[in-house]
Amino acid sequence: QVQLVESGGGLVQAGGSLRLDCAASGRTFSTLTLAWFRQAPGKERQFVALVNWRDDNAAYADSVKGRFTISKDNAKTTAYLQMNSLKPEDTAVYYCAADLHSWLPSKSTDGYAFWGQGTQVTVSS
């Protein structure tokens, strides 16, 4: 139904920047929400940011506020995560997730039916 392709992960020094892309293909709706989650070794997958296609609503985890910015390209059905001032604790596998009928966007993994394969982000000191 929906496929998600992520790109942009890599290795960067602390204080540097990376930009992640999530491109959605297949059938989508005006109620689409694309979200970013991340999972570090030995930890639960945690919410990072989301953006809603219906009203451009965006939300962020407290740990990334002021450093990360999520944006979207409606025509390309793509979400971008600009990550600035990266810290070693940002190191994780980053996953894109889609909710096709998100009238009330969720910050929980349970709210998303479709997931990308993940892309590794490593921040060195």
Q: CA-based diameter of the chain, in Å? A: 42
Q: How far is the C-alpha of 66 from the C-alpha of 78, rounded, in Å?
A: 22
Tokens 């809603």 locate to 52
DSSP helix/strand/coil, 95: strand
Specify the pLDDT at position 56: 84
Condensed to tens digits (0 to 9), the pLDDT of residues 9-30 reads: 999 999 999 999 999 999 877 8
What is the spatial distance between Cα 57 and Cα 59, in angstroms, rounded to a whole number?
Answer: 7
Q: How far apart are CA 35 and CA 59, in angstroms?
A: 9
Question: Could you tell me the pLDDT band of residue 87, with boundaries at 50, 70 and 90?
Answer: very high
List of residues 6+ apart from 16 with CB closer than 8 A: 86, 123
**Which two structure tokens, joined as six digits, stand for 87?**
């810290």
Q: What is the pLDDT of residues 58-85, one digit of tens each?
A: 999 999 999 999 999 988 999 999 999 9
Residue 102 has what pLDDT?
85
